[in-house]
Amino acid sequence: MGSLYGTVKYQTRDDMKQEQDISASERLHRHRLLEGMAQAVAEKGYAETTIADIVRAAAVSRRTFYEHFPAKADCLVALYEAASRNALDVLRQAIDPAHDWEEQAEAALGAYFDCLSRNPVLMRTLFVEILGLGAEGLAARRRVNRELADFMLQTVNGQGKRKPLSPDLALAVVGGINELVLRAIEQERVGRLRELTGVSVDLLRAVTRGAA
């Protein structure tokens, strides 16, 4: 990762070390802010969370917050993207190429739903509140959905010569799974998200067979 302060104009050893130290410090502060946001949201919900709550939980100053984020909404988008990357890592770690793609999908989706259900309040914020942020929130959701769809493409199409899943179909499956999760949130069944594994795999299987 490059310097958070832009391009370095000269590259003595001392200057390079200082740049690395600053970058590490900035990354640490950003990480603390995201952790603080997650903690505050889990305790109070997004609407009731204030910047004071975030910086208190993060153990940083209000000035540090504004060095990283213009507003609370920007911090939420960053948290959403970071949490989504963590969930995607869970999916990847659950993959075992020794099995066929259907078994891999079942294992990965089960692990994914378990990951989501660990913090119901935070998950509700990330799935529901992100949609209330307007264009920026929608753009973040689309980026995450695209990454999930790409993962699905790699899993399903990675074995053999036949490629039964297209990018559009993969994105449609991700959208369907998101709707199942949103319904579970509305019905207060977040603790039972793993039950969505079967229907999600059935959806993926039906789409790939229909495209064959």
Residue ending a domain, among 11, 43, 69, is 69
Which CATH number goes with the domain that contains 8?
1.10.10.60
What is the distance between the alpha carbons of residues 91 and 121, in angstroms, rounded to a whole number? 21
Q: How many domains does the chain have?
A: 2
23 and 39 belong to one structural domain: yes
Range of the domain at 189: 71-211
Q: For residue 122, which amino acid is it?
A: L
Which CATH number goes with the domain that contains 101?
1.10.357
46 and 89 belong to one structural domain: no
pLDDT value for 210: 66
62 and 119 belong to one structural domain: no
Residue 69, pLDDT above cutoff 70: yes
- Mean pLDDT within 110-135: 85
Q: Under 8 Å CB-to-CB from 46, ≥6 apart: which residues? A: 76, 125, 129
Please give the residue that has the higher pLDDT: either 195 or 45: 195
98 and 6 belong to one structural domain: no
What is the distance between the alpha carbons of residues 197 and 58, in angstroms, rounded to a whole number? 35
pLDDT value for 128: 85
Phi, psi of 98 (to 5 degrees): -70, -20
- pLDDT grade, residue 211 (50/70/90)? low
Helix (H) or strand (E) holding 190: none
76 and 64 belong to one structural domain: no
Residue 160, pLDDT above cutoff 90: no
- Mean pLDDT within 38-55: 90
130 and 37 belong to one structural domain: no
Residue 18, pLDDT above cutoff 70: no
102 and 202 belong to one structural domain: yes
Residue 17, pLDDT above cutoff 70: no
Residue ending a domain, among 69, 92, 126, is 69
Residue 163, pLDDT above cutoff 60: yes
47 and 88 belong to one structural domain: no
- pLDDT grade, residue 10 (50/70/90)? very low
92 and 162 belong to one structural domain: yes
46 and 130 belong to one structural domain: no
Residue ending a domain, among 54, 69, 84, is 69
Helix (H) or strand (E) holding 2: none
46 and 93 belong to one structural domain: no
Q: In this structure, what token pair is assigned to residue 26?
A: 């900035």
- Mean pLDDT within 135-156: 91
Residue 28, pLDDT above cutoff 60: yes
Q: In this structure, what token pair is assigned to residue 204?
A: 């993926």
- Looking at the chain, the whole-number percentage of residues with pLDDT higher than 90 is 53
49 and 103 belong to one structural domain: no
